Amino acid sequence: MKYKKSKNLIALSGLAFALMTIGQTAQSETMTQSMTDVRQEVQIWTTYTLNPYLRSSDLKATVKDGKATLTGSVPEGVNKDLAREIALGVQGIKEVDNQIVIDGEKSASMQAPVSGYAEVIDDAGITLAVKSKLLWSKYTSALQTTIETKSGRVTLTGTADSPAAKDLAGRLAGNTKGVISVKNMLVVHAPKALAAQVSTGTRVAVDTTKIMTASTEQAVTDSWITTKVKSTLLYSSNVAGSDIVVTTNQGIVTLTGKLASGAERALAVELAQNVLGVKRVESKGLTF
C-alpha cells in the first residue's frame, strides 16, 4: 500500500511539475511577444519622430501580435499613406489598421520654418529618400553615389554608368520632397565590360540607359514592386502619390486615380517605369 501511495505521489508531483513548466513556458512566450510588440511600437514611433513629413504630427502606434494600429491626425493623405508604409516596413509587422485622420487645418503649422537639430533631421530624411529612390531605380541602383544634404540642398558625388544615368539621378533627387536644389557632380564611367570593348576598338551599339548589373537582374516580387513604386511616388514632389492606386501583376504596374494635370500624370508614369522590376506601366486609369 505504501508503495502504491508513493507511486501516486510521484505521479502527482510529475504532473504538477509538468503543469508548472507549461505555465512558465506560456508566461515566457507571452512576455516575449509583449516585448516584441513594444519594440515594434518604439521603432515605428522613432521613425515617425525623425521623419520630416511626420515629425510634427501627433501619431501613435500600438502593436499586438504583428498588427499595428495607427491613430492621430495628419494634414494630407500623402502623410497618412507614408505612415502606413513605414509601419509595414518594420520587421514582424504583417498588418496595419490605419485609423489616422486627415486634418487639413494642420498644414499651416507643419510648414513653419525649422532650424538647428530639426533642420539636421530634415536633411537626413531627404538624404534617405533620395538614396532610396536611386537604389530602387533600374537605371541608377548600381551607381556608386554619395549623397549629402544641407538645408535642403543636395550634392551628388561618385560615378554613373552613362550620361543618361547621371541625368536621371539628378532628376530623381530634384523631384524629392524637401529638396531645394541639386548639385550633380557624378562622373560618368562606362562599365568595365563596355570599356574593354571600346579600348580594343570593337564597335559597340548599346542603349546606355539600360545597362543592367547582376544586382538589378535579380527577381523581384510584385508586392516589392508595388511597395517601391508607392514609396517613390510618396517621396516625390509635383505628384500626388496619395491619390494614385498602384497594383502590380507579373511586373506590369497599373496606376489609377485622378491627378491635377497631364504633366503630373507623365511624371507619375516616369517614376513608376524607373523602378527595378517594372516591365510596363499601364496608365489609362490615371485621369485629370
Q: Is the pTM of this model over 0.95?
A: no
Q: What is the reported pLDDT for 6? A: 54
Mean pLDDT, the chain, whole residue set:
77
**For the segment 275-287, what is each residue's pLDDT rounded down to a tens digit?**
989 999 999 999 8
- Inter-residue contact 275 to 225 (CB < 8 Å): yes
- Secondary structure (DSSP) of 229-274: HHHHHHHBSSS-GGGEEEEEETTEEEEEEE-S-HHHHHHHHHHHHT
Residue spans in the chain of domains classed CATH 3.30.1340: 30-106, 222-287
Pairing assessment for the beta strands 153-160 and 95-98 based on DSSP bridges:
unpaired
Return the higher-pLDDT residue of 174 and 192: 174
Q: Which CATH architecture has domain 222-287?
A: 2-Layer Sandwich (3.30)
Residue spans in the chain of domains classed CATH 3.30.300: 117-210
**For the segment 184-198, what is each residue's pLDDT rounded down to a tens digit?**
999 988 655 444 444
Rounded average pLDDT over 226-232: 89
Provide the 10 A C-beta neighbour count for residue 229: 27
Q: What is the reported pLDDT for 143? A: 67
**For the segment 115-128, what is each residue's pLDDT rounded down to a tens digit?**
455 556 678 788 88
Q: Which of 38-47, 92-101, 120-129 comes out lowest in average pLDDT?
A: 120-129
Choices 3.30.1340, 3.90.1720, 1.10.10, 1.10.287: CATH for 30-106: 3.30.1340
Rounded average pLDDT over 15-22: 54
Indicate the residue type of 17: F
Q: In the β-sheet with 252-258, what is the strand arrangement from edge to edge?
A: 244-249, 252-258, 280-287
Is the pLDDT assigned to residue 90 strictly greater than 90?
A: no
Under CATH, what is the fold of the domain 117-210?
GMP Synthetase; Chain A, domain 3 (3.30.300)
Q: Where are the beta strands (DSSP E) in the chain?
A: 58-64, 67-74, 95-98, 101-102, 144-150, 153-160, 181-188, 244-249, 252-258, 280-287
